[in-house]
Amino acid sequence: MATQTALYDLHRDKDARMVDFHGWQMPLHYGSQLQEHLAVRRSVGLFDISHMNIVDITGNDARAFLSYLLANDVAKLQQPGQAQYSLMLTPQGTVIDDLIVYYLIDNKYRLILNAACRDKDNVWLSQQSSAFSVTIQSRNDLCLLSLQGPDYLDVLQPILPATQLSLIQKLRPFECIETDTLFLANTGYTGECGIEIALAADAARQLWQTLIDNGVQSVGLGARDTLRLEAGMNLYGQEMDEDTSPFAANLGWTVAFAPEDRPFIGRASAFLARTQHQQQLVGLILRDKGIMRQGMTVSFEQEADGLITSGSYSPMLECSIALARAPKQVGDEAWLDLHGKHIAVEVTTPAFVRHGRILASVLSRKKVST
């Protein structure tokens, strides 16, 4: 039987369409995925993401362990309250999972990892920590809410105490703070500004209901996926997996080879892949009727040498968009095999919308370069 978050009954009360998502009963939508998507872009939307895997790493070797575990350099986090996007790599330099690491206080860090990778991630963390003096704690006691959209501060103002609101207002992107009752992070998965809040189950239910009663739109997994696709954000299992190097997924910027004496898992293989990879992610736009979907083939220079990793309808562009695996050098046009038809699609940068606006690179159809 699928696991339920602490907010399950509240989702059912709003007639959410519930689906099994990697062993979790989660809301797909609450009636209109389009309405939910546009609410986040234009005002604000509320997500229950309590299925995400929250793990605390504490102990004298916490930083040394994460320096070895992660492809990005956790030493870049100089002050408590800073956060960083990173990857866990296999020894072969492919992606186990992507995550955000938060520096809370000395010798204490928090990882938020994907729900789909929970079991294998927890086993990997345990295996790799054996030589370090650290404690690994899965925070199954916490719920995680995400409030995303340009109006997120406005809806919190009449709800939260002034002290908590002040803390949120001071957070810049990829900053966080932990109090006795809340974990607050200026992070998200939509391409909009927002706040993610981890708190105990009873407090989470109360905050969710209060926000809903104040007119905030609840948002399900369907709109979460189209929002991240418009923003050009990778999804584990589609844009990247254990057969994919970070460089083929346009995530080479997360692999920190400096300093040269920092050993991390997968370093040698990733170093070779940096110059040897032959693929990249590009964006595709289909102006004609039809929807691009994961698994469809794409031809570049008249050869069937590309594959769509994610595709859907874009409410902002009002047509279908996709991310696709492509050769390192491509032009600004490709051809899609859509139900047996050969249809031209535009090739653009692998991001379409940020902060409620279609990106200039999409509007101008710039040629993709690597």
pLDDT (average), residues 73-87: 98
| Across 77-81, 233-237, 242-246, 286-290, least confident range | 286-290
Name the pLDDT band for 365 (thresholds 50, 70, 90): low
pLDDT (average), residues 302-313: 89
Identify the pLDDT of residue 302. Answer: 65
pLDDT (average), residues 241-253: 97
Interval 139-165: pLDDT, tens: 999 999 999 999 999 999 999 999 999
Interval 343-364: pLDDT, tens: 999 999 999 999 999 999 888 7
Name the pLDDT band for 368 (thresholds 50, 70, 90): very low
Kindly report the pTM of this predicted structure: 0.95
pLDDT (average), residues 320-334: 93
pLDDT (average), residues 322-326: 97
Helix (H) or strand (E) holding 67: helix 62-69
Identify the pLDDT of residue 367. Answer: 42
Identify the pLDDT of residue 369. Answer: 35
- What's the first-to-final CA gap in the chain, in angstroms? 46
d(CA 349, CA 213): 39
Name the pLDDT band for 366 (thresholds 50, 70, 90): very low
Domains of the chain: 1-277 (3.30.1360.120), 278-363 (2.40.30.110)
Asked if residue 231 lies in contact with residue 190, where contact means CB atoms within 8 angstroms, the answer is yes
Which SS3 state, helix, strand or coil, does residue 167 take? helix
Which SS3 state, helix, strand or coil, does residue 69 take? helix
Residue 272 DSSP code: H
Q: Is the peptide bond before 150 cis (omega within 30 degrees of 0)?
A: no
Mean pLDDT of the chain: 95
Interval 22-76: pLDDT, tens: 999 999 999 999 999 999 999 999 999 999 999 999 999 999 999 999 999 999 9
Q: Going by C-beta distance under 8 Å and a sequence separation of 6 or more, which residues neighbour residue 348?
A: 282, 283, 284, 285, 332, 361, 362, 365, 366, 368
